């Protein structure tokens, strides 16, 4: 199976890079957050009505529904918090961590009010970033920095890496 899973903290560029990489390789692109919203409603509403645990269950369900070859999957930032998800991605494809510094994430998400786990103050933001960073590194086959690079440049790096996946 040729499947690439992009993981990383919110604002690291997963969705944008997935689209660029998909165009470059001619592969199908699936955005898990978009799939969740199509099936279950807005993510912020899920968090408000049902809580984070329900969202994580939906996330795992949608992840496991993705099947096929030549697919790039843009995951949600918390996908790595469930070991079952990490095992699934590692078994079914290659996991690439798009890493952005906390400073860069803060800049990118400065005016974003739609992310339930981001709008808890800078101390909580940094704690979540630090906690997940180690999970991303453990889960990934490859780590790519997104700071000071365009989505096109990152997509080219992923395309080169994908040649070794065959």
70-83 residue pLDDT tens: 999 999 999 999 99
Which residues, in sequence order, are CB contacts of 27 under 8 Å at separation 6+? 2, 4, 21, 70, 71, 72
pTM above 0.95, yes or no: no
> Which whole number is the average pLDDT over 86-103?
95
DSSP element (H, E) containing 12: none
Integer Cα distance of 46 and 61 in angstroms: 15
pLDDT at 1: 52
Residue ranges of the domains in the chain?
A: 3-165
Who contacts 164 (Cβ-Cβ below 8 Å, separation ≥6)?
Answer: none
β-strand partners of 71: 3, 28
Per the structure block, which two tokens stand in for 5?
Answer: 């899973």
Apex CA 154: angle with CA 143 and CA 107, to 5°?
85
- 18: tokens are 């997935």
Confirm if 116 and 43 have CB atoms less than 8 A apart. Answer: yes
Residues facing residue 94 across a β-bridge: 4
Q: Can you give the pLDDT at residue 108?
A: 78
* For residues 103-116, average pLDDT: 74
The yes/no answer on whether domain 3-165 falls in CATH 3.30.300.20 is no
């Amino acid at each position: 199976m040729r499947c690439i899973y992009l993981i990383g903290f919110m604002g690291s560029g997963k969705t944008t890079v997935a689209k660029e990489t998909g165009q470059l390789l001619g592969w199908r692109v699936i955005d898990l957050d978009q799939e969740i919203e199509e099936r279950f409603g807005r993510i912020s509403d899920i968090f408000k009505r049902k809580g984070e645990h329900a969202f994580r269950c939906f996330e795992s369900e949608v992840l496991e529904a993705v099947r096929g070859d030549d697919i790039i999957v843009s995951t949600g930032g918390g996908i790595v918090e469930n070991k079952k998800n990490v095992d699934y991605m590692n078994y079914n494809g290659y996991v690439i961590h798009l890493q952005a510094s906390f400073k860069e994430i803060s800049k990118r998400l400065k005016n974003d009010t739609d992310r339930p786990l981001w709008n808890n103050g800078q101390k909580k933001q940094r704690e979540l970033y630090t906690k997940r960073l180690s999970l991303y590194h453990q889960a990934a086959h490859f780590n790519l920095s997104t700071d000071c690079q365009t989505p096109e440049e990152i997509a080219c790096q992923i395309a080169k890496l994908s040649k070794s996946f065959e």
